[in-house]
Amino acid sequence: MQATNDMSLLSLISHASVPVQLIMLMLLGISIMSWTYIFAKRMAIKRAHTQTRRFEDDFWSGGDLSMLQQAVASRRDEQGALARIFDAGMTEFLKARRGNAGGDALLDGPRRAMRAAYQREMDALESHLNFLASAGSVSPYIGLLGTVWGIMHAFIGLSNMQQATLASVAPGIAEALIATAIGLFAAIPAVVAYNRFTNDIDRISIRFDSFVDEFLNILQRQVR
């Protein structure tokens, strides 16, 4: 261990031991991936809210459902998740009606189709949330590992000195503590984003569930 008078952040990182530097690099990679997923997920959820609201306005405007289904089918990717759930259910309903199915059998197909479409859309919305949860829970411990290793390395270096002073031990400890700081920097945004996105997705899920039930009630009235 060599003492250094330069206590700048870059100097401390460059003088850290190789294992601590590797841990810092790992945490930096986790942080970059977390921020990438945070921005992408924020845009995806915002787009889902906008598309859902637009489709609900079209659906409840009182237009013909068959015409709405044709419009949705022609632009599935642009219409949003709720529109695709509606398209799955309406397509199965029209098939069942053309097949002269009656009673509950006429609604079983649309119900299963919408539930399957609902699950696919929710899986897409929830993608990468597990990474944010893992980053938020694991990053502080990875940083702590770097800190423990760095402090251990600093004290081992002190054993080779005739006289230990605060000036000689401070740089080594400061280098080690940077790993914990980077770990927290990676973890805190990931935890905040995970909690926020989970709440937003739960609200979207409730809207989808309510729509499926209401749409099935509409189809049931048409069957009677």
Q: Indicate the burial class of 100 (C-beta count within 10 angstroms; 0-12, 13-18, 19 or more).
A: exposed
Model confidence over 173-206: pLDDT tens digits?
777 788 888 999 999 999 999 999 999 999 999 9
d(CA 200, CA 124): 14
Dihedrals φ, ψ of 41, to 5°? -70, -35
Q: Given this model, what pLDDT does residue 19 score?
A: 82
Domain spans of the chain? 9-223
Residues (pLDDT < 70) of the chain are 1-9, 11-13, 15, 100-104, 157-172, 223-224
